[in-house]
Each structure stands twice: as C-alpha cells, then as structure tokens.
Structure 1
Amino acid sequence: MDQLSNLKSILHSKRANIYYLEMCRVMQKDGRVLYLTEAKEERFYWNIPIANTTVILLGTGTSITQAAVRMLASAGVLIGFSGGGGTPLLAGSEIEWLTPQSEYRPTEYVQGWLSFWFDEGKRLRIAKHFQILRINYLQSVWCKDKDLKNERFFVDDEDIIRALSGYSEKVERANTVTELLLIEAQLTKSLYKIAVNRTQQENFVRNFDNTDSANLFLNHGNYLAYGLAASTLWVLGIPHGFAVMHGKTRRGALVFDVADLVKDALILPWAFICAKEKTTEQEFRQQILQKFTDHKALDFMFDSIKQASLRGGTI
C-alpha cells in the first residue's frame, strides 16, 4: 500500500493518456502496472504511467490481474472492455466503464446537477447551453488548428459559414429536446458533407456497422471521447443516467452528452482526413489523442460540467 500512496497525483483534467490494448496481459509488477506481449521467443514488458492516464480500453485477446485493477483504481483510471479497434464497449459497471470505487469524491457537483435535473425546463436550458458550448468550441478549434487549415478546413469558408449560420438561434427557439436533437442531427449531417468535400470521400454514408475507414475512425474516435467524458463524470461524482439530451432510452446517456461537446470539432474532421491518408488505427488514435491535448478537450469537459452543475438553475 505504501507504493500506492506514493503515486504522484495529476489532476484528471490535465491527464494526457488513453490506452487501447490488445493481445496482451495487464499485470502489476514491482509497484507498477505493465502490459506483457509475447513473441515466438521473447516477452516484452511495457510500463503504463497510470498517474497520467484517464482510461484503458482492453480489446481482443487481453487479460488483467486483480492486482493491476487495484492499482489502476487507486490512480482513478477507468477500465473498459471493448471489441477490436476500441469499439464497441462490451462490459463495465456504471453502464459502460469499470469505475474505481471511491467514497471520497465531491458531492457539490452531483447536488448542483440534481437541483435542476428534475425540472424539465431547466434541463432543456442546459441542453441548449451545451449545444452553444459545442459550436463555440468547434469554431475556436477550427479557427486556430494549423493542421486543419492545411486540410482546407477554414471557419470562414462559405459552406462552413452556411452550416453554422443561425445555429444558435435555432437552438434557442427549440421547445423540446426532440427538436434540439433534430437541429443537432442536421448540423452534423452538414459537417459530414463538408468533410466529405474536403477529403474526396464521395461514397460516404454514416453507418456504425460499415467497415470503410471513415466510419471505423468515427466509431473509434467517438469511443475515445466517451472515455474522457466518463472519466470527467466519475471525478465530479455525477452518475451517467442524469442526461439532458440522450437519456430517453440509454441509462448511460450523460456520457454521450458530454462527449458531444468535442466530437464534431475534433473526431469528425480527423476521421475523414485519416481515411483519406489511409492511416492505421493506431496512427489515427495517436492523432486524436494529440488533438485532445492540443485543444484541452478534457479541461473543456470539466469546465463545462462544473459550470452547469453550479449554475444550472441560472444558465
């Protein structure tokens, strides 16, 4: 236990790592969490810096020891079991994730969240607020990201201006969450079209089950965003069932609400760019994680949820 207590603490909002592992064994050894891969004649051990990690996804052919889970929990790392390529999530508590068991998390945020959540009107206001935050974040990212500009994603291009024009007004006029979901879907469809035009993926049709690179990368990137969202909610102590938009049929829907804050800005364009460049899944994942860090996606999630929790009744 001394080794666990000596872990350096890094705020979750500042952590940089998400791991997707396959064909390996995760274990605890000499006070560290390692994963072991085996070649024909050799074994290779690789260290996982758990103090700087938010989520570990265990894909096909993986196993994990009880001692490793204990150390990961002590560092506040969420664990998810997934299919190949990081999707779909197969098992976990808290709907989708194995969350560390800790009674010493803040209560002010869940109490603030629940203070407005049971009021349908206030819940709708928060849902609208999230949509405005989402579009502002997209404009901010696309305005300053040099790599996106190199791929001809300019926020002052006519088609992008047209897609974003009037979005805030449409959101404010929505009277129900159903209307809001429709407005959101129309925007995402427009952004898909923009990305298709920039990357010449003419035959693209969004389908979660399709095996073309763009769809696979969208699925993969979305699950990385879900991992960040789940980690944010766990740290702040807010259960995943108290969604403001997606909660009609899925009890873990608040994860989707929070992930949506960054998906269009970061996942959507890079899924198409990486599909055009025929990158591997690992290269795509590294690109997305770098963009999460560059644009402080986790910080943005934390700040958005904190603000909504503490000012939910007045937003």
Structure 2
Amino acid sequence: MEQLSDLKAILHSKRANIFYLEKCRVMQKDGRVLYLTEEQNEKQYWNIPIANTTCILLGTGTSITQAAVRMLASAGVLIGFSGGGGTPLIAANEIEWLSPQSEYRPTEYVQGWMSFWFDDVKRLKVAKRFQQCRLDYLHRVWHKDKDLQNAGFYIGDVDTERALALFSSQIESCLSTAALLLIEAQLTKSLYKIAANRTKQPGFVREHDSEDDANAFLNHGNYLAYGLAATTLWVLGIPHGFAVMHGKTRRGALVFDVADLVKDTLILPWAFICAKEQMSEQGFRQQCLQNFTQHKALDFMFETVKTLSLESH
C-alpha cells in the first residue's frame, strides 16, 4: 500500500488530472482507488491516479465508499457531487467541495489575505489586480496557442483588442466592486459575441439552463475551473468565503474569483470551438484538461493568489 508521504509527493500546483465520473462505483481495492463500471454484464475496474489528481466530480448514478474517501482525503483530493455533465454542483462542504480535513496547511497566506480583506479600499485594489492578472494571462495564452489562433482567437484581432483594451482602461477608474463586476460582465459578453462570430454560431445567448452545446460546454468547463480554484484555496489555507469580487453573501465566492482567472482564456473559446465541431462532452472535457496542463492553469492560480496575499501582508 502507498504511504501517505508517497500520495502527497506531487505538488498540487503540478497535478494534471480532474475526474468527472458517472454511472459507476468508486472504491478502495488493494491500496488503490478504483471506479467500477458495468458494460453488458461485464464489470471493469479503472484506476484513479490519486497522487496526480486535484479533484473528482461525481455525477449521476455514482456511489463512493468510505475507504475510498479516506484515501482520497489522505492524498489531498477534493470531492464534489454534481448533476449530469458536471452541472449543477449539488453537494459539498466548503460550499463547492468536500475538503480533506488536514490542519497542517500554511497560515501565512490566510494571514496575508485577512490583512487586507476587512479594508474596503485594499480589497478593491486586490480585486483590480485579479482582473489585470486575468487579462495578462489571456494575452499570454492567446498569443502563443496555435490551435486557438487557427480557430480565430488571437491577440491582434481587432474586435478582441478593442474589448480587452476597453476593459483594461476601465479597471483603475472603478470606485466599487459593483462597478468592477459590471465592466467584467461587459468584457465576457463581448468575448461571447466574438466567439460566436468566429465559430459561426450567430444568435448565441448565454443561458445556464439552455441545452445547446455551447451553453452546456460553458457550464461544464466552468465547473472544471471551479475545481482547480477550490484546490488552490484549500492547499493555501484560505477559506472560500473571503471573496474580493463576487457577492459577500455567497460562502464560496472566492472560488468563483479565482476560477475567473482562466475561464475566459481557456474555457470560453473552446466551448464554442467544440460546439461547432459537435464534439462529445467527454471530448470537450479532455480538451479542457489538456489546456489546463499545457498552459499551466493551476500553477497560474497558485502564483497569483500567493503573490497577492503576501504583497498585501
């Protein structure tokens, strides 16, 4: 059986896997975590490499044993329960996720976070930094990703440059979080329009309950990003409720703030591209996970949150 030290050998910021499972049973067997599927009277076991996994989403028709949860917790893997296709997120603790109960996590980052969070002016300043980091990441990724460029998403495109430049110029002039949220929503709306035009899907309207592929992929991809964000915050020991952008009345709002660092860059364009190509949900999910790894999304989340918390402290 693997030792606890072995399970935590891979840093969370370097882990590559997110699992969405449905119609299966997750269990512990011979010191490993497996999921069992039944295909036409044949049972098949599949291994989950928990030491290289950030989080697991359990969809419809799933069950999990106590022994499996214990092993996942020992490896620092977060667990969430969701509906079909990864949305909506139904259950969890810490708002979005069942978090491993380890008390041996760093305190310096939450101390740094608390040093500014109760000051409205300082919190708004950090919120603005979040948005600028988000823009920098989009510029960096879209500038070098050949697949995105071939699909029409690139830095230098007139519409894209206009939308990004307008957002960037408005960030510093915002006097409240509400004003910042408003221009952020306008940016995302502009990117939706650009994506719909580039992939020839005119008339697109963002509706969370809509059944068209683009909306479904956006929902699903966003929840994958939430998994990365929740992992980042848990590892750094920062409670999910201390948001800088999203509503203070939502306990898990900081998860949404951190996920926003990569959603427009990696989820939004690929949701439209995959919808145009009529890819399956599984194909889209694999594309998202590949993007997370290729562009070091988890590393970027960790570094951004660590930098902002320590700078403020």
Structure 1 and Structure 2 fold alike (TM over 0.5): yes
Moved more, 304-313 or 98-107: 304-313
Secondary structure of residue in 2 paired with 1:260: helix
Q: Deviations over 1:275-296 (max 9, x none)?
A: 0000000000000000000100
Task: Give the conservation status (yes or no) of the 8 Å contact 2:241–2:248.
Answer: no
Q: Deviations over 1:98-143 (max 9, x none)?
A: 0000010000000110000000000000000000000110011100
In structure 1, the residue matched to 2:138 is: 138
In structure 1, the residue matched to 2:271 is: 271
Q: TM-score, normalised by structure 1?
A: 0.97
Task: Give the conservation status (yes or no) of the 8 Å contact 1:241–1:247.
Answer: no
Aligned length: 313
Q: Which amino acid aligns with 1:312?
A: S
Cα distance in structure 1, aligned partners of 2:23 and 2:199? 33
Q: Deviations over 1:196-222 (max 9, x none)?
A: 110011121001000000000000000
Q: TM-score, normalised by structure 2?
A: 0.98
RMSD, aligned CA: 1.1
2:50 is the alignment partner of 1:44: no
Aligned in 2, Cα 1:267/1:2: closer, same or farther, shift over 3 Å? closer
1:131-280 matches, within 5 Å, as: 131-280=131-280
Q: Which amino acid aligns with 1:176?
A: S
Gaps of 5+ in 1: none
Secondary structure of residue in 2 paired with 1:98: coil
Task: Give the conservation status (yes or no) of the 8 Å contact 1:20–1:56.
Answer: yes
Secondary structure of residue in 2 paired with 1:55: strand
In structure 2, the residue matched to 1:33 is: 33
Cα distance in structure 1, aligned partners of 2:106 and 2:154? 40
In structure 2, the residue matched to 1:121 is: 121
Secondary structure of residue in 2 paired with 1:244: coil
Secondary structure of residue in 1 paired with 2:7: coil
Secondary structure of residue in 2 paired with 1:80: strand
In structure 1, the residue matched to 2:308 is: 308
In structure 1, the residue matched to 2:295 is: 295
Identity level (%): 75
Cα distance in structure 2, aligned partners of 1:215 and 1:24? 26
How much has 1:2 moved relative to structure 2?
6.3
Task: Give the conservation status (yes or no) of the 8 Å contact 1:247–1:254.
Answer: no
In structure 1, the residue matched to 2:88 is: 88
Gaps of 5+ in 2: none
How much has 1:184 moved relative to structure 2?
0.2
